[in-house]
Chains A and B, each alone.
Chain A
């Protein structure tokens, strides 16, 4: 595995965080919390404070919705067109929107993501460069821990490298996990359980 292409670190920006961000409407927050896979924006790129998604996010969202089983709900952390802004970085490195996911979804999601990249790049796939982050939600009971796996490297080695990183994730520990701030059937942000 190309260790220098991937990093993994614990993050506080799991489902609990993204389902309580103040710029999302209540119904969007609930949708985020009820999903297995969520595309989340970049916050604070350079000095820009509004949430932004990399170019290609709308296509990726449609692709995942069309190809993941109906038992795997997919959402995007944005309300509507008025809030949907895209960041175009004109280096020839395709930046995938950060994907927040339940750990159980990872084995299905990663190959699907590679198929999306193959389709997007066509014959250029072997030379393509990709930047992607997966925030993996591990849970035990109602305790949750999130680990961010970030990949920056050639598209052809993405799948094997990320799968290897996923396989190295330690089992979640209740002592370090935290409960989600509110249940999917609630629409009140930051409600204490």
Chain B
């Protein structure tokens, strides 16, 4: 394959043919990059690195959608995080091909999927680290910098900060906005001592069931709607109101026609399969 043929392949992601496999295309890009470096063509090596990131982003997005369909919600969450990271590393290199390779769509949809997840808190370690440059291996020395710039491309590779030593872990905090989104806390089963996934994935599950393919567009509107009191029959008058206002039920929603709860209204560009429920109480 030539670079142009690879670009054509990447541009057809929404209806990608079965062959060649993405792994084969990754090998082609790696080979082309080696050739560019042999010519000391840094510009072409950088362009090929960008195309590698496009391929990886597309693969991760497709994998995430597939995992959603398979109800592997946490693993899909991790793939979406990697999509986000890969897109961020590409962003500063103004490649001009975001629309051509559907990266704008992937970025937008990734954020939408992430917003459907039930995760509210994440673990966040506080660590004392030493690091080095991924390009030259020199330790981080503010007064004697190696000269490589984080996020830039050298010899077709991204310059990163590589942590070489964790001197101490000072604590683990719970945060609502983590750097590492994969750090989702799971409950431990007291009988087995093993962690298990206790989250309610009803919302992403509903959206995934309504979509046939990963490149069909969809949107979401968040409002509130009153749900019948019969759904909250176990809540007593002096219990906290199920609307989560912090007031007692009897002083809040009980006198009203229903309990005010978040309401998500989906719209799909392509009609969902006929067995998709029109209305659904998820949580």
Contacts and interface: CB of A to CB of B under 8 A. Distances in A.
Interface in A153-175: none
A61 B141 CA distance: 10
B168 A84 contact: no
The 3 closest A-B pairs by CB, nearest first: A92-B177, A91-B175, A81-B141
Contacts of A92: 175, 177-179
Given A62-B145, A84-B142, A122-B91, A45 B170 contact: yes
Contact size class for A?
Answer: 20 to 34
A86 B128 contact: yes
B127 A122 contact: no
B128 A90 contact: no
A55 B125 CA distance: 13
Contacts of B161: 55
A92 B139 CA distance: 25
Nearest to A31: B143
A96 to B, nearest CB: 14
B127 A88 contact: yes
Contacts of B35: none
Interface in A69-106: 76, 78, 80-81, 84-93
User: Chain A CB within 10 Å — which of B91, B142, B168 has the most?
Assistant: B142
B129 A85 contact: yes
B177 A58 contact: no
Interface string B91-103: 1100000000000
B167 interface: yes
A52 interface: yes
Interface in B177-231: 177-180, 183
Interface in A136-190: none
A91 B179 contact: yes
Interface string A19-55: 0000000000000000000010000011110101001
Interface in B149-165: 150, 161, 163
B126 A87 contact: yes
A10 interface: no
A133 interface: no
Contacts of B177: 91-93, 129
A87 B54 CA distance: 32
Contacts of B39: none
Interface string B69-99: 0000000000000000000100110000000
11 contacts: A48-B128, A57-B142, A84-B139, A85-B129, A85-B167, A88-B125, A89-B126, A90-B175, A91-B175, A92-B177, A92-B178
Contacts of B170: 45-48, 87
B178 A55 contact: no
B26 interface: no
A91 B124 contact: yes
Nearest to A48: B170
A124 B161 CA distance: 20
A85 B129 CA distance: 6
B128 A52 contact: yes
